[in-house]
Amino acid sequence: MRDIPKDQITTLHLPQFERVKPVAVDPNAKEGGESDSDTDDEEAKERKKHDLKEDEKMIWGMKVKKQTTTWNMLALVTTSTGVAIGLSFFNTQSVFLMADPAYFNITDKKTRNIKLGSHAAAAATWSMLLTPFMGQLYEVFGRRAVIALNYAIMIFFIWLTPYSATMFPNRTSLEMLKFCRVIVTVCSTFLMTSPLTVDYIKSDDQGKGTSVNEIGTTIGAFTGMSLLVNVVETWD
């Protein structure tokens, strides 16, 4: 093999690869490039915007506790709405039931008013006597259990009320109507004294929470006194 002159040798230059620096990967990164740190930054901006503390957030323009959800706020409103529907519907229907010949047949207006007043006084008295113990029951048995039980009892006695006219003869039927009113009123008071506003909303905005609660009450009263009464009037 003959020697090749050095000036005829072609040098092969290999490409030089730059050393790539390692890129840090966020283990909390979510799909689409968003990470928990991005979410935390958004929450921090929200807290700064509304002057929120670490344990606060905003729902419906109100400062609520961090664990509160939109469903919790809906429960707060619908609880008062349901109470207003039941109570206003029951009280309005009691007047019709007393005057209706098919039920209690008390045609004399004065007598009917006296009976209605007596029933309302009994219901208010029992509610007043039991109110001091209502808050304690929420603490012992929990919010959900007490609210569900009182709703169930109230609905049952509202359903039972028209049948009370025929369950017992004569005067006893009116006593049964009074008993139904007492139970419905006491259950309504239980529901109205629920501590949900305090549970969900921070003290700074509990006034707003009460206003929202009252919106539910107004809607319920309108529904119970007008829509439901008109529907029941068509039943024969």
**Mean model confidence pLDDT for the chain:** 78
What is the rounded distance in angstroms from the CA atom of residue 185 to the CA atom of residue 161?
A: 13
pLDDT digit string, tens, across residues 168-209? 665 567 888 889 999 999 999 999 888 888 888 887 788 888
Check if the beta carbon of residue 92 is closer than 8 Å to that of residue 225.
Answer: yes
Beta bridge partners of 29: 35
Whether 165 has a pLDDT exceeding 60, the answer reads yes
The residue that leads in pLDDT, 55 or 13, is: 55
Whether 81 has a pLDDT exceeding 80, the answer reads yes
Region at 20 (left for phi over 0; alpha for psi -120 to 50; beta for the rest)? beta
Mean pLDDT of 76-83: 88
What is the rounded distance in angstroms from the CA atom of residue 25 to the CA atom of residue 27?
A: 6
The proportion of the chain whose per-residue pLDDT surpasses 70, expressed as a percent, equals 71
pLDDT of 123 reads 92
Domains and CATH numbers, the chain: 62-233 (1.20.1250.20)
Instruction: Report pTM.
Output: 0.71
Check if the beta carbon of residue 201 is closer than 8 Å to that of residue 167.
Answer: no
Q: 3-class DSSP state for residue 100? A: coil
Q: 3-class DSSP state for residue 59? A: strand
